[in-house]
Amino acid sequence: MSGDGISRRQFVTAGGAAMVAGLAGCSSTDGGGATTDTMSSADTVKIGVLEDQSGNFALNGTPKYRASMLAIEEINNDGGIGGREIEPVTRDPQSDNQRYQELTREFINEENVDALWAGYSSATREAIRPIINRNEQLYFYTTQYEGGVCDETTFAMGPTARQQLGSVLPYLREEFGPDIYIIAADYNFGQLSADWVRVLADENDANIVGEEFIPLSESSFGSVINNIQAAEPDFVMSMLVGANHASFYEQKASAGLDVPIGTSTAMAQGYEHKRLDPPAMANIYAGVNYMEEVPTESNAGDGGLVDRYYEKYPDEGEYVNEEAETNYFSTYMYKEAVEQAGTVEQPEVIEALESGISLGTERAPEAPEGETIELDGATHHVDHHMWVMRADDEHNVEAITDRKIPEQFLSETVGCDLREEDEQTQYTPVDYFEEAE
Amino acid sequence: MVNGLNLAFQFLDSFAFVVLAAAGLAVIFGIMGVINLAHGEFILFGAYATTKSVTALGLPLPVAMVVGSLLTAAFGVVVERTIISGFVPNWVGQKTVGRDLIEPLYDRLADSMVATFGLSLVMVQSARIVFGNSIDTVGTPFGNVAYGAFSYSTYRLVLAGVAIAVLVAAYYVFTRTTFGTRVRATMQDEQTARALGVDTGRTYMLTFGIGSGLAGLTGALFAPVLSMQPTLGDQFLIEAFVAVVVGGPSVVLGTALSGGVLGAVSATVTNLTDSTTFGRIALLVAAILALRFLPGGITGLVERVRARRQEATDGD
């Protein structure tokens, strides 16, 4: 048994060495100018990027990965972080949470990354957060999500359900009327988002006339469409998720269901308006902080983010999705924080981040989603620039409204202040709002 | 709040989905004893081939569907010759070693599962590498039928018609043609069939081709209603297996009956509870009950009853 143990350990060591060697090869070709052989590791800032490039979330993860690489390349070309080059360490976790856990351990313990970007889904975040907490690792979670994570070393840079739904629901209530039908994916994200729709409906004087949770594996929506027709809502709030659920939009169009639909998930992440044949996405209103079509100078203008992205990755049929922008600007926020702290030591960088970092100021570049955005030091969330984006019959997307929406749940309702008290909790709306129950 | 027409349409929808998902799998499993875990990826092949024929080559949708099905059938024949029958390695083996190195995977359930599972992984990743994370879809044709406050996609009703046509065609091929007789002879007793002059290797190859073609047809038919990405085959696999298990050994009849039963269960429960989740649970519970009480599936029960009647009449 002990002999077996030794040989296995030798095997693992050898395999690990081979993997690290392979990775070094990868990052020096892929990382865009990050040559690692001439510089000792103390001279570089080591950023770990774990984003799905295969498996279920490849569609959403690939742009995230690419946007991180773009930001790193730009920062390196511009002289690095405080004169130090960024060395990206990346691997494909293949949309597999167990692989995420293994790679997170490896990146923290063996690669000693100075900061970690990882994960698309909330399930992934919750799978690796215990490892991150145990190691007090500085961690950026960059997907739009249900909200409520108050965690000392986690920075949730994407907008929350309250921000996304809070931008689109009031608009639809105003335009179309008070009766809402909810359809949502049947897992933690969908359930919590539906709770938020109920809270926001209450705040905006609207009623829920129907509600349905749909398993992620479902791709036939005949009965859902009939149920919506029977309830005759003024608009639908859709928090459907993933490739199977994308079929809903094609099917509701071919069934002739033309009620307006508000969403926090469609178009900005899986770019359904590019992939599906028109008019599947006609009359869909997305509440998002970013889409390729956001009409800011730093995004859609000449040499804006979209131009630079496609210059580096000219693949056809690609899309700079919501999370890509979040990966992109959060890398710049990290740069700001390190330069403010004057070190990559994680407690100091976290302290700098908590002092409140802004983009779009004199020092830092403008965020592609719009002018200035601020990191709220107390909650580790971002006061985002939020847009309501509408797709028409030909799937042209236009911006209808925009406004700054701060993260409100943790700051106002829960009272999370990570500068005062270290926590590692995820709060849910059910604990604070009667109407969410 | 059950609306009769809604229920009818949803039944037809579920029926079409179950039958089309299962048809190719049932043919390959029922006749060759090969469990094709790459069935979902054969559907993916058909869906991609059809969609690309429309978007890249500009073919009209119906033509593209035929092209998609035929390409999948051809691909199936290649898979049968190389992986399932081991024809190519055998041929190499005969040249170099002088004897058969590789046994075909016919009637080796577990082995065929492992081999085709591997194939499915290769196919999904290949689709991702070649075509990226998604391809553009083609729109759903035909518009909708409206009735009162409700409406339903006409195309989904057409699918139900096609599902029935597929069953009729399969029934005809396997029971009314010489090829069908050879297939059934091979299925019942391969050695005797071969002794009587049936080219069983060719029969297997064509059967696998037909099964693959049916999977390709399913992909082609669903291409306009689904989001095109490399894992789209997954959503068919469970329904297909459940349908084959519930249907039992008689390929065509079993698929038709299980499509009817499962479609009715799923549509009724979904309608009564207003919840797709419960419809799905009911479908799987029906499968569990079928496995528990009808180990041979619906057609197994039919055959048992028929055998018992036969005994009774023989006794007279």
Work out the mean pLDDT of chain A and round it to a whole number. 87
Q: How confident is the model at residue A3 (pLDDT cuts 50, 70, 90)?
A: very low
Q: Which H or E run includes A190?
A: helix A188-203
| Among A226, A244, A277, beta carbon nearest to B235 | A244
- Contact of A279 with A272, CB cutoff 8 Å: no
Dihedral sign from CA coordinates of B104, B110, B115, B119: positive
Is residue A5 pLDDT above 90, yes or no?
A: no
Which of chain A's residues have a Cβ under 8 Å away from the Cβ of B136? 274-277, 317
Q: Please state, in angstroms and as integers, the Cα–Cα distance from residue A190 to each residue in A216, A423, B207, following that order.
A: 10, 25, 44
Closest CA to A198 of A163, A158, A164, A165: A165
Of residues A56 and A47, the one with the higher pLDDT is A47
Both structure tokens of A143: 């997907």
Which of chain A's residues have a Cβ under 8 Å away from the Cβ of B230? 58
Most A CBs within 10 Å, among B20, B134, B135, B222, to test the A interface: B134
Distance from CA of A373 to the nearest CA of B (A): 31
C-alpha B66/C-alpha A146 separation (Å) is 44
Pairing between β-strand A207-214 and β-strand A154-156 as defined by DSSP bridges: unpaired
Question: What mean pLDDT is predicted for residues A374-389?
Answer: 94
Q: Strand (E) positions, A260-340?
A: 261-263, 284-288
C-alpha B306/C-alpha B194 separation (Å) is 29
Contact call for B134 and A229, based on CB within 8 A? no
Residue A22 contacts B, CB cutoff 8 Å: no
Residue B155 contacts A, CB cutoff 8 Å: yes
CA angle A390, A396, A399 (to 5 degrees): 40
- Select, from the ranges A334-343, B25-34, B126-135, the one with the highest average predicted confidence (pLDDT): A334-343
Residue B212 contacts A, CB cutoff 8 Å: no
Q: What is the pLDDT of residue B92?
A: 60
Q: How confident is the model at residue B275 (pLDDT cuts 50, 70, 90)?
A: confident
User: What is the rounded end-to-end Cα distance, in angstroms, of chain B?
Assistant: 53
Is residue A4 pLDDT above 50, yes or no?
A: no
Residue A394 contacts B, CB cutoff 8 Å: no
Residue B273 contacts A, CB cutoff 8 Å: no
Q: Which H or E run includes B255?
A: helix B251-273
Question: What mean pLDDT is predicted for residues B47-69?
Answer: 92
pLDDT in tens, A147-158: 999 999 999 999
Distance from CA of B109 to the nearest CA of A (A): 26
Contact call for A247 and B136, based on CB within 8 A? no
Distance from CA of B230 to the nearest CA of A (A): 9
Instruction: Say what the ipTM of the complex is.
Output: 0.81
Q: Using CB atoms and an 8 Å cut-off, which of residues 92-151 of chain A contact chain B?
A: none
Residue A224 contacts B, CB cutoff 8 Å: yes
| Among A223, A257, A280, beta carbon nearest to B151 | A257
Which residue type, as a one-letter code, is found at position B258?
S
C-alpha A283/C-alpha A4 separation (Å) is 63
Kindly give the residue spans of alpha helices, DSSP state H, lying in A204-241: 222-231
Q: What is the pLDDT of residue A240?
A: 92
C-alpha B122/C-alpha A54 separation (Å) is 13
Residue A247 contacts B, CB cutoff 8 Å: yes
Which of chain B's residues have a Cβ under 8 Å away from the Cβ of A220? 13-14, 17, 276
Is residue A435 pLDDT above 50, yes or no?
A: yes
Q: Which H or E run includes A209?
A: strand A207-214
Can you name the residues that pair with A376 across neighbouring β-strands? A381
Question: What mean pLDDT is predicted for residues A292-312?
Answer: 91
Q: How confident is the model at residue B9 (pLDDT cuts 50, 70, 90)?
A: confident
Residue A219 contacts B, CB cutoff 8 Å: yes
- Contact of A44 with A254, CB cutoff 8 Å: no
Q: What is the pLDDT of residue B284?
A: 87
Is residue A232 pLDDT above 80, yes or no?
A: yes
Which of chain A's residues have a Cβ under 8 Å away from the Cβ of B151? 229, 255-257
C-alpha A190/C-alpha A373 separation (Å) is 27
Contact call for A212 and B1, based on CB within 8 A? no
Least confident interval from A22-36, B160-174, B274-288: A22-36
Q: How many residues does chain B have?
A: 316
Most A CBs within 10 Å, among B3, B14, B133, B137, to test the A interface: B133
Residue A211 contacts B, CB cutoff 8 Å: no
C-alpha A380/C-alpha A156 separation (Å) is 6
- Residue B171, judged by CB atoms within 10 A of its CB (0-12, 13-18, 19+), counts as middle
Of residues B93 and A104, the one with the higher pLDDT is A104
Residue A413 contacts B, CB cutoff 8 Å: no
C-alpha A386/C-alpha A378 separation (Å) is 20
Residue A62 contacts B, CB cutoff 8 Å: yes
Q: What is the pLDDT of residue A277?
A: 86
Which of chain A's residues have a Cβ under 8 Å away from the Cβ of B3? 226, 230
Is residue B144 pLDDT above 50, yes or no?
A: yes
| Among B13, B134, B155, beta carbon nearest to A254 | B155
pLDDT in tens, B205-234: 899 999 999 999 999 999 988 888 888 888
C-alpha B39/C-alpha B34 separation (Å) is 11
Q: What is the pLDDT of residue B134?
A: 82
pLDDT in tens, A75-86: 999 999 989 999
Query: Is residue A129 left, alpha or beta, with left meaning phi > 0 and alpha meaning psi from -120 to 50?
Result: alpha
Q: How confident is the model at residue A23 (pLDDT cuts 50, 70, 90)?
A: very low
- Contact of A326 with A142, CB cutoff 8 Å: yes
Q: What is the pLDDT of residue A101?
A: 96
Nearest CA in chain A to B272: A223
Pairing between β-strand A397-405 and β-strand A381-391 as defined by DSSP bridges: antiparallel
| Among B156, B226, B276, beta carbon nearest to A214 | B276
Distance from CA of B78 to the nearest CA of A (A): 26
| Among B155, B224, B231, beta carbon nearest to A243 | B231
Contact call for A218 and B276, based on CB within 8 A? yes
C-alpha B65/C-alpha B221 separation (Å) is 7
C-alpha B242: how far from its chain's center? 11
Contact call for B225 and A255, based on CB within 8 A? no
| Among A212, A230, A253, beta carbon nearest to B149 | A230
Closest CA to A268 of A327, A341, A321: A321
Q: Using CB atoms and an 8 Å cut-off, which of residues 90-149 of chain B contact chain A?
A: 125, 128, 132-140, 142-144, 146, 149
Which of chain B's residues have a Cβ under 8 Å away from the Cβ of A219? 226, 235
